[in-house]
Amino acid sequence: MKFTKLALLLTLTWGCAAANAQQTPAPAAATEPVALPTPSSTAQKLYSAAKADLLQVRSLLKSGRVQSSVGSGFLVGTSNLVMTNYHVVSQFALDPDTYTGEWVDTEGQRGSIELLAVDVLHDLAVVRVNRYGTGYFKLGDKPLRLTQGQYLYSLGNPLDLGFAISEGAYNGVIARSFYEQLMFTGPINAGMSGGPSVTVDGEVAGVNVAKRLDGELVSFLVPAKHAQELLKKVKPEAKPPKDFTAIVAQQLLAHQTAMVDQLLAKPLTIKGMGPYSVPVRESEQMRCWGRSTDRDSFSVELTNCAMESSLFVSSTLQTGQVQIQHQYMKSTGLDQVRFAVLSSASFRNENFGSHKDKRLTGPICTEQFVKNSSLPMRAVMCVSAYRKFDGLYDFALLTSSTDDGKMNLQSRLDARGVSYENGMRASRAFIEALGRGGKK
């Protein structure tokens, strides 16, 4: 059952992997030089006033102090605290023996970084530096009210090319993300993660975080109120926590509780696929897609429901997500033996993880023939534990109907980054909701 949707959201850290992906362009043909648009006078004034408190935040390999990834950040008020994204600092948060942090300002001055706090759920972090802000960027106690179409100005260091400001517009709150984000219709590029987006008056509206890869000028900001909330938890003179892995694990556990509670807050929606009834969950955070294919001797109908957002933990791990898939196959020319071979091959082709995965333990699987109130099934459940985050697991439940020799329903639930109890809870609800009762 292969029906996956490409990841279309890009966090905006600029790293060595992205740099290596660039190819040397072919020499351009001689043409008349094209003049770049001149920044508006408002943007010029804003950048001039703000540049002293803009920083590039770098993640360096401790051995040789070689740059690994870069993002942006900004000094808050007249303090020595810098707001940025969690994904910008994730390397030295989770692997401080290998990575360290460094800041660079618009004048080329640089210094060391101390990581004080992270908010993985909203992708924010606070670091302490050995210099102070001028007071330009303020995070007030009251949420900033924005109107659709209001001009915003995003600042940061795109692609490690130099500090820049870009203009765009606020276009509302994104409902599809599990946690609130603002839509910014304007250019934000890799390397600008953690930089501020401000109003014409210089008020911080949000923190640059991501952009869509399948659209033009569709970018996202973390609302300033979440930065305010994180900042309130930070004591400026406090010692940095020794173990951010445990802090990240606690936040991931909090997320999975909210995620599964929301998934099961009401009975799963039941849809018909042939004679079968299948559970789905359609919501603002979870979208469903489908397609149908007719072959010479059989037909296939597919449904895929997945959360459109996940939590960034590291460059190799994104989690905190639920996906539901259904595949209904019907013979239109195969006898029962050949159809059984076809459906069995589809069942065997499912991937449940690898014992070579450095992030997760190898999957432990159990297989049984089960029956709920209306449907006999073959079921396989596989569970993998997170190596660095105690109490978190990936669950995969695959079922295949065994009630009819010429039609077959295969269903799969994936719950990533959940507790064992919540993984079992979601699996039970899923298997109980499958049935035979749709229209033929």
Q: Which residue has the tokens 């799969």?
A: 412
What pTM was estimated for this model as a whole?
0.88
List 369's β-bridge partners, or say none: 378
User: Residue 190 is encoded by which pair of tokens?
Assistant: 């890799």
How far is 262 from 259, CA to CA, in rounded Å? 5
Q: What's the residue count for the chain?
A: 440
Q: Find all residues with CB under 8 Å of 360, minimum gap 6, and list them.
A: 353, 384, 385, 386, 387, 394
Rounded-to-integer distance, Cα 56 and Cα 106, Å: 8
pLDDT tens per residue across all 440 residues of the chain: 544 443 455 666 666 444 433 333 333 344 455 454 566 789 999 999 999 999 999 999 999 889 999 999 999 999 999 999 999 999 999 999 999 999 999 999 999 999 999 999 999 999 999 999 999 999 977 878 999 999 999 999 999 999 999 999 999 998 788 999 999 999 899 899 999 999 999 999 999 999 887 778 899 999 999 999 999 999 888 899 988 999 999 999 999 999 999 999 999 999 999 999 999 998 888 899 999 999 999 999 999 999 988 999 999 999 999 999 999 999 999 999 999 999 999 888 888 888 889 999 999 999 999 999 999 999 999 999 999 999 999 999 999 999 999 999 999 999 999 999 999 999 999 999 999 975 43
| Structural domains in the chain plus CATH codes | 9-18+36-241 (2.40.10.120), 251-436 (3.40.1000)
DSSP of 244-293: HHHHHHHHHHHHHHHHHHHHTSSPPEEEEETTEEEEE--SSSEEEEEEEE
| φ, ψ for residue 133, nearest 5 deg | -80, 160
User: Which tokens go with 392?
Assistant: 């978190």
